[in-house]
Structure 1
């Protein structure tokens, strides 16, 4: 290949990468505007470094402080993997067994909780009721004793007998934190500082202490009754091992490298965290502090985190050698496809964003879908192309969204078509094929999935901005 031709190819690739980054920027900015998110920060990790990152918006609205890649956010349930790692470190030292019953380390428990093992706590197979479902995010601002947390969770019966099912339980990780303190003889935060954060150089990671001075700490918010309101920081005593930590991109990159390099645990012990648990109902999709969630044929592990004023998500793609994380300072802000599209900038093929348009395999499908969505935007009548159950899901917000998308549409390109044996979706509708289209308008690029039944009707339509 000549230098001129090679330069041209490289130039095209560079231009494509810039275009994808611009699309991601537009997607994130539009998402934040739609969801009223004050600040967002994402990063891609490789070899312990943040290789790509971007910060948007305000870390503190009152003080008009911009978010940066150094901003420190509450990470909620991403904290669970630190709790699980700490207990596994003690297991390697012979100081506990994951098959120990929790009553060995925590006294005055309800009768039904006593047979539960540490392993079952970490796998969410304990059957112990979730305290968060009972007292809600609001209560994480309050100071509690362990006895009070147990009393709150015990207002509901066991969900199932220990080991016989899967149900996410923050109470389980609270109890795991108590067991960690009992075995180590140290407070939860101090143990993690001495054994994990300090050795790894995670200088910005610690417990969320409302009274402490935490440099670069971000203020959390909730959108409520048409406006943003300030949310109090997490109280460690209300959450402990379930989700009390704060961190930033730099520190999470160091944590990610420690996982890859087995700096804290032996390889065989580390592997336990990523092996999904099984119950009589089958695999649960959860290991020890991690969801085991393959993505488009790739091995992948993930955990999200939410607190009263923050949302985050962290996903690892070990075969690609990269990971991605995003933080926001808004309660209940699903992060959509940001992680996948950010990771795709470093390892193309992870997200739909790098798929190339393909020819329409069946004539008229594109036109039928656009006509069906035009009917949605107008509020009816229901076209034959949409099933009755799917049509019933379209409310005013969906109609407004489609009106906006179609009014400014530039292109509607088929990226993927999959055919398979008949299966049922979340609406209980049978479907045999899926079409994925990229819709580009003047504001943004979005990815729309259409599931079709044997009669060619749309039985599910959803955005898949992954």
Structure 2
């Protein structure tokens, strides 16, 4: 959200500029100076004191006069030296938006936001000190903001407790209010000290509200709509593609790897909505079915180490399976040609607690039937990958999480990646999953299937996924023969609208290798263009959309730039 300022503090009646573009107004987007600054621009949506998008806000962006933007960038830089950073609520505000506020304030019947924004005031009292017909924000040198405190690694950045939310109208919001505790007042003073050090002054009735003391145009207002920058090119297009993930919404982390090196690593939105924690490259997401490439790699490594063979009958390792499984091999499980029944369809409804990989085996032990004879067709099977995790345990003599840790994650330096088991090691910098609801987002982090490891139980972040993706191009983990098996066309998935195949843990098409992961509250994808040595990874903690198309669009921008380079 953003603050509603007091009356413009100018001697003369301000004029409205004739400028129609941000360039003409000499304003800049703060992200041109601080690309990863945290934003929470609620006036572009409905989660604000009016309860509707505000006129003039066409995008959730922070524009400021360049002098104010540069000063704000210095504030953020100074705070980062202390493992803190800024989150902006509002910056430049069009005159038409201020008029929208005044109309709302005069509508005494609309009381929908009273409980959250002005519980101690009659709405008629808002006009004047809180909502005025002229706002300093419209001059482009006023900003509403707060401070995030990060951990020692500069991640898990969480808002300081300021005693009220933003846009709270009342005495508790006064910077030195006696109605907040000493710690909350100290946090407000921390913000004030940081802002004053770079030439901003605080409006005493709103702890979040600051104006540059030497305003560039103190007698001029602007009425240009708040929009996204109109820049062209790859970076601007990526920002536009990522905008739905920005702000107080479930987040996303984006990785682009070219020739084994990270060329883009950015995060947007929140890993934890309830605490307002910023998503970061260290945020750990549940990979869901992106896990399958790790499960397949575990089996390939065991074969590489002589512990099993890809064409072993599955009953060599899981002899309790029924007779109908006699013809199923590990290869059939790896490429989804086993015909094994889906364990999700065999579970009681509702299912008490969470099923685990061993529970999947227990269900399949009772079913002497298959969808089709092994090897005769393709049918995507979570059951098969749950069984592969159990095979890996029996062949290695270690638990599946421990085998992954010691044989894959640790050798590659994937320090924050793990197969998550409740009661075991916690997920570092964990993202919580969310699903879209009619009134916002609801936490939907786990369901009855979430404890199955082999088909979807790994958590990772884009920093670790960069190490994994780089290792797929050389022999540091899987040998050449093992990698060839993983990316070989083992089973045809579809012939229309394009021909696709499945390898071992990977989907394949001409010039393309990928896998997506979907589970309650998470949607992820990894896409590789092997000839171009380009990889895009998108991890998100929301139930929609699946980011495959997003990854493809971003990858094409990088391929287009590479093709445009002189040779």
Same fold (TM over 0.5): yes
Greater strand proportion: 1
Root-mean-square deviation (Å): 3.3
Label 1:32 to 1:164 Cα distance change in 2 as closer, same or farther (>3 A): farther
2:502 counterpart residue number:
286
Q: CA deviation at 1:227?
A: 3.9
2:429 paired residue among 207, 216, 219: 216
Flag structure 2 segments of 5+ consecutive residues without an equivalent: 1-228
Detail structure 1 runs of 4+ shifted over 6 Å in the superposition. 136-141, 234-237, 279-284
C-alpha separation in 1, matches of 2:398 and 2:237: 48
Aligned to 2:252, what secondary structure does the other structure show?
strand
Alignment of 1:269-280 (within 5 A): 269-278=482-491
Displacement, 1:97?
1.1
Is the Cα contact below 8 Å between 1:313 and 1:335 reproduced in 2?
yes
Superposed CA deviations along residues 161-212 of structure 1, whole A, max 9, x for unmatched, are: 1000000000000111111101101000100111110011000100123444
Query: SS where residue 363 of structure 2 aligns?
Result: helix
Tell me the TM-score normalized by structure 2: 0.53
Equivalent pair of 2:435/2:442 in contact (CA under 8 Å): yes
Partner of 1:251: 464
Larger Rg: 2
User: 2:465 is paired with a residue of what secondary structure?
Assistant: helix
Residue pair 2:357, 2:453 contacting (<8 A) in 1 also: no
CA shift digits 1:355-403 (9 cap, x unpaired): xxxxxxxxxxxxxxxxxxxxxxxxxxxxxxxxxxxxxxxxxxxxxxxxx
2:473 aligns with 260
**How far has the Cα of 1:149 moved from its partner?**
4.6
**Does residue 121 of the first structure (1) align with residue 333 of the second (2)?**
yes
Matches within 5 A, 1:32-431: 38-132=250-344, 135=347, 142-144=354-356, 146-147=358-359, 149-151=361-363, 157-211=369-423, 212-224=425-437, 226-233=439-446, 238-278=451-491, 285-294=501-510, 299-348=511-560
The 3-state SS of whatever aligns with 2:310 is: coil
Q: Which has the higher contact order (CA 8 A, sep 6+)?
A: 1
- SS state at 2:263 partner: strand
Q: In structure 1, how many angstroms separate the alpha carbons of the residues matched to 2:525 and 2:494?
A: 27
TM-aligned CA deviation for residue 344 of structure 1: 3.4
Whether the aligned pair in 1 keeps the contact of 2:336 and 2:384 (CA below 8 Å) is: yes
Contact map agreement 2:324 2:368 (CA 8 A) in 1? no
Contact in 1 for aligned 2:322/2:368 (Cα 8 Å):
no
Shift of 1:48: 3.9
- Relative to structure 1, the CA distance from residue 32 to residue 293 in structure 2 (aligned partners, 3 Å threshold; closer, same or farther) is farther
Q: Aligned equivalents of 1:20 and 1:136: distance in 2? A: 49
Question: Are the equivalent residues in 2 in contact too, given 1:129–1:153 (CA < 8 A)?
Answer: no
Residues 113-157 of structure 1, C-alpha deviations (whole Å, 9 max, x = no match): 232100000000000022245559996971446245541696694
- Could you tell me whether the CA contact under 8 Å between 1:21 and 1:345 is conserved in 2? no
Kept in 2: contact 1:72–1:217 (CA 8 A): yes
Indicate conservation of the 8 Å contact 1:137/1:308, yes or no: no
State how far apart, in whole Å, the 2-side matches of 1:330 and 1:137 are: 24
Query: Contact between 1:58 and 1:64, CA under 8 Å: does it hold in 2?
Result: yes
Counterpart of 1:26 in structure 2 is 240
- Residue aligned with 2:454, SS: helix
